[in-house]
Amino acid sequence: MHDRPDILFIQTDQLTPSVLRAYGDPVCHAPHIDVLAAEGVVFEQAYCNFPLCAPSRMSMATGRLASRVGAYDNGADLPVSTPTYAHFLRALGYKTCLSGKMHFVGPDQLHGFEERLTPDIYPSDFLWSADWEAKGHADATDARMLDLSGPCARTVQMDYDELVTARAVRRIYDVAREADDRPLFMHVSYTHPHDPYLCTERHWDLYDPGQGQGANDYAVPMPAILDVADEERDPHSLALLRQHGLLEHAVDPEKVQRARRAYYGAVSFVDDQVAEIRAALRATGRENRTILIFSSDHGDMLGERGMWLKKTFFENSLRVPLIVHAPDRFMARRVPDPVSLLDLLPTLIDFAGGSVDALAVEPLDGKSLGPACRGETTESRDVIAELLSEGTPAPAFMIRRGRFKFTHCPAFPDQLYDLAADPTEMENLAHDPAHADRIATFRHDVAARWDVDGLEADIRLSQRRRKLIADAMAKGRRVSWDYVPAENDSAWFRGQCGYNDWAFDRVPLPSKDRA
């Protein structure tokens, strides 16, 4: 066993754990992810800390709540002076590499990574900044997500994710050839199964109900709660449905089934990418020295309660899969305690042999999952989440404590759910006198943790600043912050050494595989 392991972090986009067999789904075809779960440590209740792409990733990367680092929405920049896990691991002697989506906003498109292998798939400027003062939501997802779902020959997202895999695989082989013996931290980040709900015909056909012995053996399950009457919805859910252009659309079970089937197909597409990455690790003999972490940035409502996508604190939106695979280091086990992506940075420092106390220059909001991976007893902890972007007119907060989930937003009524007794979150207990003391405690904890009024003022100021800058930058010559990697032509023969030295430079098979 290598004392300084390589660390490979595979991250998906908008993957809710409820669709994976490791989390109880009966039909999902993702055999390579299933193997990771069967051989690894599965965190059964893992959460993101902001159910939206960029803020979730920035919170995860810094180990601090999005409100602490100014990551308020998909168009907010992460300050260059904010350390990320790439900085910490680099300080510990790791080479750091990113292939795929990270959704960095601003002129720093590396944030501690030594190299990026691909461009990003989303804009790096202030185009997607939230605006609480706007009457509508420009470029918001609309009903086409359901009307146009299904199989297709190709999408730009498929092109992108296959590029992410190809570049990552090539880099794994390059690392095996290099004289640089530093351990590797590689973040491989995909955009699937993010909407639109589309997949290839091959992946669509994996879920053909006619393939099994019974009529529904392979049928993708429908939502547990297909719809909720508008008068029974909370105001935040109504606002999200309105933003997504779905409030006036009646729920069509056939469209729901079609979109969910395409989503499952997209998960199977991700599984194919995982297989290619792991094949490269095996071929280079680096699999046993690698700790592989598999997760997502947030989930997807997938038609539960008639809702889709994210930006809500309901379980399908807020929860993520989290699997740590390193059979030579950690026994296969399942961890039932709630954890979150804030725990990732201290976990990476732990795996790399470092100390958070020695490295961190300010308190982090998470704790290492290393003890849980090693089977040690750990204390239960609160899980915290925020929503500070469009879709809510004021800051919103969530605290998961034990079996209870509490949400608070000054613009909406409080919500309290007993997840053990009510896993579909249909009974709001916030106004139940039996829980009055619990509600009072939660409200006190929100006030103690967040300066709600001050945070709202900071967010509104940030939105106005970014709007002014975005409007100004749209005039005259446009200067892009997008990351455009230069093609590494030095890999091809250009007389940089003897031809045979170049031609025979290879990754030999591990000794155990040689005849």
CA distance 237 to 233: 6
**pLDDT for position 514:** 37
Place of tokens 């053996």: 217
Q: What is the mean pLDDT of residues 299-304?
A: 97
For residue 483, being part of any structural domain is answered with no
- From 171-175, 234-238, 509-513, the region with the lowest mean pLDDT: 509-513
Domain annotation covers residue 323? yes
Q: In the predicted model, is pLDDT for residue 139 greater than 80? A: no
User: Which has the closest alpha carbon to 8: 169, 181, 192, 178?
Assistant: 169
Peptide bond into 151 cis (omega under 30): no
The answer to the question of residue 312 being in a domain is: yes
CB atoms within 10 A of CB 415: 20
Is 252 part of any domain? yes
How much is the pLDDT for 134?
A: 73
| Closest to 410 (Cα-Cα) out of 463, 447, 458 | 447
| Average pLDDT in the chain | 92
**pLDDT tier for residue 498 given thresholds of 50, 70 and 90:** confident
Rg (CA), the chain: 23
CB 336 within 8 A of CB 377: no
> Is 291 exposed, middle or buried (CB count within 10 Å of its CB: 0-12, 13-18, 19+)?
buried
The pLDDT, as a whole number, for residue 215 is 46
- Written as one letter, the residue type at 217 is D
With respect to residue 109, please indicate whether it lies within any of the assigned structural domains: yes
**Does residue 406 contact residue 361 with C-beta atoms inside 8 Å?**
no
Q: In a 3-state reduction of DSSP, which class is residue 10?
A: strand
pLDDT of amino acid 138: 55
How deeply is 24 buried, as exposed, middle or buried, from its count of CB atoms within 10 A (0-12, 13-18, 19+)?
exposed
Residue 54 and residue 102: Cα distance in Å, rounded? 8
pTM of the model: 0.94
Summary count for the chain: helices (H), strands (E): 16, 17
Domain range spanning residue 372? 6-128+144-381
Per-residue pLDDT tens over the stretch 308-365: 999 999 999 999 999 999 999 999 999 999 999 999 999 999 999 999 999 999 999 9
What pLDDT sits at residue 503? 59
Q: What CATH number should be reported for the domain holding residue 355?
A: 3.40.720.10
The Cα–Cα gap between 182 and 289 comes to: 13
Write out pLDDT tens, residues 424-464. 999 999 999 999 999 999 999 999 999 999 999 999 999 99
Q: What is the pLDDT of residues 7-24, one digit of tens each?
A: 999 999 999 999 999 999
pLDDT digits (tens, 9 = 90+) for 204-261: 999 987 655 444 556 899 999 999 999 999 999 999 998 888 888 888 999 999 999 9
| The total number of structural domains that make up the chain | 1
The answer to whether residue 470 is domain-embedded is no
Q: How far is CA 177 from the centre of its chain?
A: 31
Helix (H, G, I), strand (E, B) or coil at 273: helix
Residue 361 lies in a domain: yes
How many angstroms separate the CA atoms of 309 and 317, rounded?
7
Rounded CA gap, 193 and 472, in Å? 35
Q: How far apart are CA 445 and CA 462, in angstroms?
A: 26
Give Cβ neighbours of residue 182 (< 8 Å, ≥ 6 apart): 93, 94, 95
Q: Is residue 452 part of a domain?
A: no
Active-site positions read: 53, 103
Distance of CA 429 to the CA centre of its chain: 30
Distance CA 302, CA 450 (A): 31
